[in-house]
Chain A
Amino acid sequence: MKITREVVEYVGHLGRLDLESHEVDLYTDQLDRILQYMDKLNTLNTEGIEPTNHAIPLDCLLREDFVKESFKIESSMQNAPERKGNFFKVPPIIEVEE
C-alpha cells in the first residue's frame, strides 16, 4: 500500500480539489492499484536514455514582431462569473488586519 488517505488529501490540496470523504476513500484505493500497475515501468532499464517530451521535435519558430488587433475587452470578459468594470472580481486574496 503506497497511497494513504493523507496522500490523496494532500495531492487534492495541491490540485485545488476539495474532495469529499467518500471520494478520498475511493481514490485512495483506485490510485494505489493504478500506481502498482505503473510500477512496471521501473522494471525497465532506461539508463542513458533521454526522455521524449514531444514526439515530433520542431525547432522554435520565429516570426516578425508586429502589432495587430487583439480581442476586444468585452469579448474577453463576456464569460466572467463576476466582474467589476473591466476587471475579473475574485474573493479576498490577502487578509486585511483591522
Chain B
Amino acid sequence: MKKFYDMTIQETRNLLRKREITVTELTSFYIERIQRYDKDVKAYLRVTDEKALEMAHYAERKIEQGEDGPFLGIPFGIKDIFCTEGIETTCASQILKGFIPPYDATVIKKLKDGRFIHLGRLNMDEFAMGSSTENSSFQTTKNPWDLSRIPGGSSGGSAAAVAAGLCAAALGTDTGGSIRQPASLCGVVGMKPTYGRVSRYGLVAFASSLDQIGPLTRNVTDCAIVMNAIAGFDPMDSTSIPQPVPDYTKCLGKDIKGLKIGIPKEYFITGMDPDVMRAIEESLTVFEKQGAIIVDVSLPHTEYAVATYYVICTAEASSNLARYDGVKYGLRTEGKDIIDMYKKTRLKGFGKEVKRRIILGTYVLSSGYYDAYYRKAGKVRTLIRRDFDKAFKSCDILVTPVSPTTAFKIGEKMEDPLTMYLSDIFTIPVNLAGLPGMSVPCGFDASGLPIGLQIIGKPLDEALMMQAAYVFESEKNIKKIPDTFR
C-alpha cells in the first residue's frame, strides 16, 4: 500500500472522505514519524502534538457532518515566522522566545478555514536571514539526503520536513530565495509567488519590498492546491494585489506545445557545479521533447543583483527590526535608562547575522551614504527589472538553476558571510523584480544530493509555471523521500 507521504493532498483527502482512514490516524502517522526521525533532522522547533490531535478530533466531527475543506484533516508544518493565535512564534530568535501572538496571520487563517492540522513550528534562519538555517538561535537542521549537510535556508526546516516526510506540506517565506533554495537543496517543490499575490498580514517582517509567502510540497499538484487556498487579495495588507485567483489545479495536465522557454546566458556561469549544469541541460531536452521551444535571452545586470539585494534587504531589515525594543513583547534586559535597556536587550536578543545586517542596513541608510548605497541600489533594481521585462518579450517563462551548487557541509560558509550571500545569486533577481519563481526537483549530483530547476514567470503567471512544472514532473518522475526515511 502507498504510504501517506507518497500521496498528494487530494489523494489523502479522498481516503479521509471515504473513511478508509481517520484524521487521527493520519495525524498520528506524522507525529510518530517526527518522534522517530526528527531527532536526526531537527526540522521542528516545537511539535504541537496536543493541538494537532485536538484539531484532528474536530476535523473528524466535521467529516462525519459531511463538511469539506481543501485541507480537511491534512497535517502541515509551519515555518516559525507566521503569527498564530495562542501558539508560540519565535522566528528562531531569542528576542521573540515565549512570544504568543494574539491573532492569526491571514495565511494561517486561510489554512484554518480549510481545516488543516497544525503539526508544529519549523526551524529557520533567525528572522529569515540566511541561506543554510545555521543562523537559527535554537538548533541546526540537517539535510535529509545527507545529515552532514545544510538543508538550505531560510526555510530550511520547512524543506527538510517535507523532504523527510514529516508533514504533508509546509509554508515558508522567500525574500531572496528562502523557499526556492532550500526546496532545491532538499529535492522538493517550492513556490515563491508574485510579490503581492499572498497576503503578508501577520508575517514577521524582514524586508518588506521583497518578502513573499509560499508553499513547500512534495509535488506540483500539492503546490497548486495550497496556492489556491493562500493566494488572493487581503485588505489587511496594503501591498496585496486586488486580482482574482485562478484555480491553479486547472492548469495541471495541459500540454506545453509551443511554450517559449527563455534561457538567460548569465545564469550559466563558470564556477557552477558541473553536475548542476548537466542536470539543467538534460531538463531542457525534456521540455523540448514535450514541444517547448528554447530561446536564448540575456539578463545583463544579473551580476549586480547580489550587491543590490544586500543593500536593500539590510536597509529594510534595520528599519523593520527596530520594533524589538523590549517594550511591548519579547525579551527585555534591564539597563540604566531606556536607551541602555534597548541596547542591552538587542545585544542579547539578536544573533550574529541579524546584528551584522542591522549594522550594514543602518550604515547604508545613514546620512552621507544614503545616495551612494540605498538610492543607487534602488536604481540598479530598476535596471534588473527592465532586463526581465525585455526577456519576457521573447519568451513565456525562464528556466535556470536555483543554486550554483548542491547542499554544502554544515559550517562550511559560516565564517565568510560574503560567500554565503553569493550562494543566492540565481534566486535574488526574482525578488528584486517581484516575479514569481519556483523550484522543481530535476535530478541528483554524483553523491546523490538533489538538484532543483528554477522556473521564473511573468507577474501573476503562476498557473503557467505550474503547468510547465507538472509536465516536467510527470516526465522525470524524480524520487522524493530518501530511502533512510522510508
Residues of A within 8 A of B (CB): 7-8, 11-20, 23, 27, 30-31, 33-35, 37-38, 40-42, 44, 46, 49-56, 58, 60-61, 63, 71, 75-76, 78-82, 88, 90-93
Contact = CB atoms under 8 A, between A and B. Distances in A.
Contact of A17 (B103, B209, B330, B346): B346
Interface string B453-477: 0000001000000000000000000
A55 B384 CA distance: 10
Given A38-B373, A79-B329, A18 B196 contact: no
A81 B356 contact: no
Contact of A37 (B336, B344, B381, B418): B418
Interface of B: 98-100, 102-103, 194-196, 209, 235, 238-239, 241-242, 301, 303-304, 306-308, 310-311, 318, 322, 325-332, 334-344, 346-347, 350, 352, 355-356, 358-363, 366, 372-373, 375-383, 385, 417-418, 421, 431-435, 459
Nearest to B350: A17
Contacts of A33: 418
Contacts, number: 175
B378 A17 contact: no
Contacts of B242: 58, 61
B338 A93 contact: yes
Nearest to A38: B307
Contact of B381 (A12, A17, A51): A51
Contact of B338 (A40, A55, A90): A90
Contacts of B326: 81
Contacts of A78: 100, 102
A81 B327 contact: yes
A93 B337 contact: yes
Contacts of B308: 41
Given A55-B434, A91-B338, A40 B363 contact: no
Contacts of A23: 352, 355
Contacts of A17: 343, 346-347, 350, 355, 358-359
Nearest to B422: A37
